[in-house]
Structure 1
């Protein structure tokens, strides 16, 4: 079988589109030293619940030899033994060298094959083979064509094997990558915005209709093709600052910084540990579980710490944006566009200040609506797969 795969390997979540299906997993894995205990033998139930119980054995030339082995992936990993999970080190970066993105991508492709084959036939063969065309992206803060090629070659050089555990059943998935394209994060988003209908700009147009100082003609997505755009893509471990002339990145003016939700969480974790005077050591994963659990005895303290840390990160992002719009783009910007998962988390701390700045330099602010903001990059990669990267007519 042949597959076009778009994979957005975020520090928090890995998102994937294959054959029009968008699915995701937390970017977390946990190594197993022995085979998992079988608790369910019904194959249909195991396939249906595969996203919650994705367990795989990976053998791949793209990862360190010592990393070959048995893993639980994503949602399964974060429900078991948080102290032993592996996630992206948001301080170190170098996503193109990490094993975790490779393990996530291989596992999620295998998941897609298992679900599709079972849904179509009601049964599973012992093995399947797939030839993939894969696109992904790495942060602008680390992007170079050489680093992109390193990640491309890790997938494309040799075949990869994923054995998926489904109760008593084992299914072997053999994957080869015919073509791999790695671009920089932020760039695919403009293709996604251009493909959207006019509802993505509805709140933007309403805001400027009411703004007597900055009134404008109604903007349509297609109008962005001819505009100079400064992108602020707020993620978990990095915030990408991308400057494009329409769909074309101006590479010397693109950069990224280690800002985002993950850094706010780590800062808040330190604050909470300080408040507890070392009586108990809370890590990033357990901190977020406290924030999510309103019944936890430390919930209010954790939320307050996170609120302080988000405000601090928002200030950094504001300062970055002002500095880069001035020094990288020479204030020659038609519109500042903000998106990414962090744009939802930081909106209340950042929107007013960023709007004031854009008003001062006589440009406009487009804050992508929450329901669209998270998936712009993966949808953009999918569009690029079909129209640019792997288009046979090209």
Structure 2
């Protein structure tokens, strides 16, 4: 079976958010190398299809990553095995195997699911051609690193074996063209247009409309000529790019090593002490924070408070620095990313005061959209005219 996928791929330090073939997949961005599949009983392979991304075991044979068998995402996190993850502030994503392996694994899983949906049986082999847009942190993005990261996907054929219990499906993946952009910049596409290409409307803007008492019917066209300072708060970095309309202003490239992950790293020892564990991974702490019903949630929040306030203070200072560089010629500050959810109780009030005194507006993206905004923007970009033009230019014979 032959498939074609558009993929918007946001390889975060903590979470992997991809939109594959129009479907959002969110998984912890971890994996672990293993020697054998974990299943011994003869479970029907069909039983794996529905929740395949949650129980993902693959064997990778790729020119761009270490060959081997891997547990990926949630299955790796819950396995108790030694995890490979992105070390915040240390690892350069374009050099790492993890983003390549996890991307290939998630695309292969989506291919198996789609082939099963279409054929109503487990395929023996699936061939997938992928058009993909992905991103690197502003601090790591250059023409050189972008080209290097693109090449890791486009140079050669990637073979992924997806294990459905004891049954195997061979997935062959090729990337005729991939584009790597600076993180945060694809969000300008998301704010303006929805997946169908219409002006975006809805509850993503509700708080903004109420705060600024905008009477007329509001949609994403409002942002088409605005000068926006983005504050994209991740786990390991915060990006502060400035965009004008659909343009990324290269002279204002700025990112720092601040984010929720640093606060979590600082709080982790105390958290582990309170829950009587010798250690636990950063992603486990993140999962506890996201789940108010978790028995350790209150303790996680308590240990995080002081380190989080330190990170917020640094982020506000960096926002002021960007505003000074732009001579305050900014229409609005837009805040999003996984870290923005955890920091909201402290950060929102400080930025509200800041924009009021400088005659700007604040668009603080609601929690249900904050994490996926980059993936949504990358998905919009990969399906758009700019990507198509870049691809046509790249693949034309010289």
Name the TM-score, length of structure 1 as normaliser: 0.90
Question: Residue 190 of structure 2 aligns with which residue?
Answer: 192
Name the SS of the counterpart of 1:86 in structure 2.
coil
CA shift, 1:17, in A, is: 1.5
1:308 aligns with 2:299: no
Equivalent in the alignment of 2:98: 100
**Contact kept in structure 2, 1:334 and 1:364, CA below 8 Å:** yes
Q: Among 208, 229, 235, which residue is 2:212 paired with?
A: 208
CA distance in 2, matches of 1:153, 1:279: 41
How has the CA–CA distance of structure 1 residues 117 and 286 changed in structure 2, closer, same or farther, with 3 Å as cutoff?
closer
- The structural deviation recorded for 1:350 is 0.4
Match status 1:347 vs 2:344: yes
Partner of 1:260: 259
Confirm or deny: 8 A CA contact 1:264 1:313 kept in the other structure: yes
Pair 186,285 (structure 1): closer, same or farther in 2 beyond 3 Å: closer
Whole-angstrom distance in 1 between the partners of 2:75 and 2:357: 48
Structure 2 equivalent of residue 57 of structure 1: 59
1:272 to partner: Cα distance: 4.3
Distance 2:300 2:373 in 1: 30
Aligned to 1:81: 80
* 1:369 correspondence with 2:369: no
Distance across 1 between alignment mates of 2:209 and 2:160: 48
Q: Deviations over 1:92-151 (max 9, x none)?
A: 141111111101110011011100111121212321212211110111111111110000
> Paired residue for 1:160?
158
Q: Give the equivalent residue in structure 2 for 1:360.
A: 357
When the two structures are superposed, what TM-score results if normalisation uses the length of structure 2? 0.89
Cα distance change, pair 35–20 in 1 and its aligned pair in 2 (3 A): closer
Residue of structure 1 in register with 2:68 after alignment: 69
Q: How does 1:157-306 map to 2 (within 5 A)?
A: 157-195=155-193, 196-209=200-213, 220-272=219-271, 280-281=278-279, 283-285=281-283, 287-288=285-286, 300-306=298-304
Match of 2:322 among 315, 324, 328: 324
Measure, in 2, the Cα distance between the counterparts of 1:353 and 1:73: 38
* Residue 45 of structure 1, CA deviation: 0.5
Please tell me whether the aligned partners of residues 141 and 257 of structure 1 are also in contact (alpha carbons under 8 angstroms). Answer: yes
The answer for the alignment partner of 1:123 in structure 2 is 121
Pair 1:70–1:350, CA change in 2 (3 A):
same
Greater alpha carbon shift after TM alignment, 254-263 vs 141-150? 254-263
SS in 1 for 2:241: strand
Paired residues, what number? Answer: 381
Q: CA deviation at 1:269?
A: 1.3
Q: 1:251 to 1:35 in 2, by over 3 A?
A: same
Q: Deviations over 1:298-330 (max 9, x none)?
A: 765443111222222111111111112212x22
| Per-residue Cα deviation, 1:221-244 (whole angstroms, up to 9, x for no partner) | 212111111000111111111101
In structure 2, how many angstroms separate the alpha carbons of the residues matched to 1:100 and 1:317? 28
1:270 deviation in Å?
3.8
In the alignment, the residues of structure 2 paired with residue 124 and residue 360 of structure 1 have an alpha-carbon distance, to the nearest angstrom, of: 61
The alpha carbon displacement at 1:293 in A equals 8.7
Distance 2:270 2:316 in 1: 22
Residue by residue over 1:37-61, the C-alpha shift from the partner in whole angstroms, topping out at 9 and shown as x without a partner, is 3345212102123122100000111
CA RMSD of aligned residues (A): 2.4
For structure 2, list consecutive stretches of 5 or more residues without a partner in the other structure: 194-199, 394-398
Contact 2:6–2:130 (Cα < 8 Å) also in 1? yes
Partner of 1:10: 12
Corresponding residue of 1:212: none
Distance 1:17 1:282 in 2: 29
Q: Distance in 2 between matches of 1:293 and 1:384?
A: 34
**Rounded Cα–Cα distance in structure 2 between residues aligned with 1:153 and 1:112:** 22
Rounded to whole Å, the distance in 1 between the matches of 2:142 and 2:6 is: 24
With over 3 angstroms needed to count, the CA separation of the structure-2 counterparts of 1:158 and 1:310, relative to structure 1, is same
- For 1:279 and 1:172, locate their aligned partners in 2 and report how far apart those are by CA, in whole Å: 40
CA distance in structure 2 between the aligned counterparts of 1:289 and 1:4, rounded to whole angstroms: 28
* CA-to-aligned-CA distance 1:137-189 (integer Å, 9 cap, x gap): 11111111111000001111111100011112111111111001000110100
Q: What does residue 29 of structure 1 align with?
A: 31
In structure 1, the residue matched to 2:108 is 110
Structure 1: runs of 5+ lacking an equivalent: 210-214
User: Distance between the aligned counterparts of 2:18 and 2:286, measured in 1?
Assistant: 24
